[in-house]
Amino acid sequence: MSKPMPVTVLTEDEKAFKDAVREFAEGEIKPKREKMDHEAQMDPALVKNLFEMGLMGIEIPEEFGGVGSTFTTACLAVEELGRIDGSVSVLVDVQNTLVSNAMLRWTTDEQKKKYLPKLASEWVGAYALSESSSGSDAFALKLKAEDKGDHFLLNGHKLWITNAGEANLFLVFANINPELGYKGITAFIVEKETAGFSIGKKEDKLGIRASSTCELIFENCEIPKENVLGEIGKGYKVAIETLNEGRIGIGAQMVGIAQGAYDSTLEYIKSREQFGKSISQFQGVQFQLAEMRTEVEAARLMVYNAARLKDAGLPFLKEAAMAKLYSSRACEKVCSIGVDLYGGNGFTKEYPIEKYYRDAKIGQIYEGTSNMQLQTIAKMELSE
């Protein structure tokens, strides 16, 4: 078991990677950000660029066409992309910290050979757990999987599935026996072109608008037995353990959005003049700027700490919950202060701060609401 690095330290390779992602985000994503947000549509050419940069297969081993790097490196990418656009950030986050993560841990050798090269080079992945009746109560699943001998038939719906509009591969959780409760839940690998499977309504969202969030429809969708992910009836384990790690990725996204809001605000207050001088010279503005910077750094350290623990093979569940809880709250606070400091301009679409503010809110909702994180933290504290 390796010893985790101090959370404040990045290796030279990590620094170089982070800088490269930042340069890519500034050059390729920023010019498209406003248009993608307005049209609520991810630019397909940009998705292709993400694959070419190696950002869609960060932890996938080199033998399967991936980068073969660490979970922390994936979080660094998610952070830097979030600094420019939360929509692109979450696309990369779901691909790496949920889909690829689950595929690396739970697939058979045959499944790895079949799917990992595609996920590293061209296929976007989506993680399909939520339903209309199962949000925080993630295991109240109604999507039914009926055993037909050599295959399963899936019938039902999924809601709020991130990346659904771009995805070629879906990790789908269904119940083979509702009487067994969570012990009946099984995970399946579903390809987009599977008969009986279709993409339904696309949500019109407040924030991260270019990120597709859609309904999935299963109508006698036939899934071969070899597409079961992990063991039959053990899907709950796949879901829980993958989400525990994915929450760190969402924390990284929130840190990135908060950093972007801070950078934008800092630049604005230096250029904005009132009463004959830059508003950055007023102590009241300086205090708010200091609050923003402190919140960003505190959130970053919590996220890096959780990521380092995960990479080191050490317990990280509580730290992941705390990082996700704190970073999502800090992000909303930082973005709100930013809007305030922009004044009337902050309430218009002429400046980027209003988008950062809209994008921030989702952090307290998806991959486990803030209340669920509080519950996890409290349970772990009381059990120690």
- Taking the C-alpha atoms of residue 44 and residue 30, their distance in angstroms, rounded to an integer, is 15
SS3 content of the chain, % helix, strand, coil (to 5): 60, 15, 25
DSSP output for 46-105: HHHHHHHTTTT-SSS-GGGTS----HHHHHHHHHHHHHH-HHHHHHHHIIIIIIIHHHHH
Of 40, 49, 31, 81, the residue nearest 210 (C-alpha): 40
- The answer to whether 29 and 85 have CB atoms below 8 angstroms apart is yes
Predicted structure pTM score: 0.96
Full set of structural domains in the chain with CATH: 12-123 (1.10.540.10), 126-233 (2.40.110.10), 237-383 (1.20.140.10)
What DSSP state is assigned to residue 194?
-
pLDDT, residue 44, reads 98
Report, as residue numbers or ranges, the catalytic residues: 367
pLDDT, residue 7, reads 60
Burial string for 259-268 (b: 16+ CB within 10 Å, else e) reads bbbbbbbeeb
pLDDT, residue 178, reads 86
pLDDT in tens, the chain (384 residues): 556 555 657 999 999 999 999 999 999 999 999 999 999 999 999 999 999 999 999 999 999 999 999 999 999 999 999 999 999 999 999 999 999 999 999 999 999 999 999 999 999 999 999 998 887 776 789 999 999 999 999 999 999 999 999 999 999 999 999 888 889 999 999 999 999 999 999 999 999 999 999 999 999 999 999 999 999 999 999 999 999 999 999 999 999 999 999 999 999 999 999 999 999 999 999 999 999 999 999 999 999 999 999 999 999 999 999 999 999 999 999 999 999 999 999 999 999 999 999 999 999 999 999 999 999 999 999 997
Burial class (CB in 10 A: 0-12, 13-18, 19+), 137: exposed
- Taking the C-alpha atoms of residue 155 and residue 145, their distance in angstroms, rounded to an integer, is 7
Helices 12-24 + 71-84 axis angle, to 10: 30
Report residue 36 as tokens.
């993608």
Burial string for 217-226 (b: 16+ CB within 10 Å, else e) reads bbeebebeee
Total residues found in the chain within this entry: 384
